[in-house]
Amino acid sequence: MPTKEEVFEKIQAALVDALGVDEEDVTPQATLVGDLGAESIDFLDIVFRLEKAFSIKIPRGELFPEDILTDAKYVQDGKVTEQGVAELRKRMPFANLDDFAKNPIVQDFGNLLTVADMCRFVEGKVEVTD
């Protein structure tokens, strides 16, 4: 059973390998897109590395529910609707959506996910100790 620190270290290693960034840049607060320069295709690479590192399965859209952002039911005039934000909160309990919810512009969503969010996501899938 890994500790939270070990979870972070494995995620850090996965991001260093996938994104070619320096280890010291991968802090819990760093955003994947804005700070670490992740592009959409990198998420496939990152998911593969996390699945391999933790022996877990991450179904498509679970870490990054892009289907919500392309669903007319949840998006109006480039913004995620209240119902859409509620759906995002349900699907992404590991992420803090409070700031995004204040002005939920679809384009800003990509820069939401932080390294700490990923740690919480993985911690929800593997048993961890403190």
Partner 1 sequence: MRWYWIDRFLEFESGRYAKAVKNISLAEDHLHDHFPYYPIIPNSLVIEGLAQTGGLLVCEHNHFTEKVVLAKIPKAAFYCEACPGETLTYTATIDYIQEEGAMVTATSYKGDVLHAEAEIVFAHLSDSRRGSLFDPETFLRMMNLLGAFDVGHAADGSRLVPPPHLMHGAKGDGT
Which of 47, 95, 115, 119 binds partner 1 (CB under 8 A)? It is: 47
Cα–Cα dist 58/8, whole Å: 17
Phi, psi dihedral angles at 32 (to 5 degrees) = -65, -45
Give me the amino acid identity at 7: V
> In angstroms, what CA-CA distances link 37 with 19, 41, 59?
7, 11, 23
Q: Which of 17, 26, 20 is nearest to 49 (CA)?
A: 17
Residue 108 touches partner 1, criterion: CB under 8 A:
no
Quick check: 51 binds partner 1 (CB under 8 A)? yes
State yes or no: residue 66 binds partner 1 (CB under 8 A).
no
Smallest distance, partner 1 to C-beta of residue 43, A: 10
Q: Is 37 in the site for partner 1 (CB under 8 A)?
A: no
Q: Is 60 in the site for partner 1 (CB under 8 A)?
A: yes
- 14 residue type, one letter: A
Residue numbers at the binding site for partner 1 (CB under 8 A): 17-18, 20, 41-42, 44-45, 47-49, 51-52, 57, 60
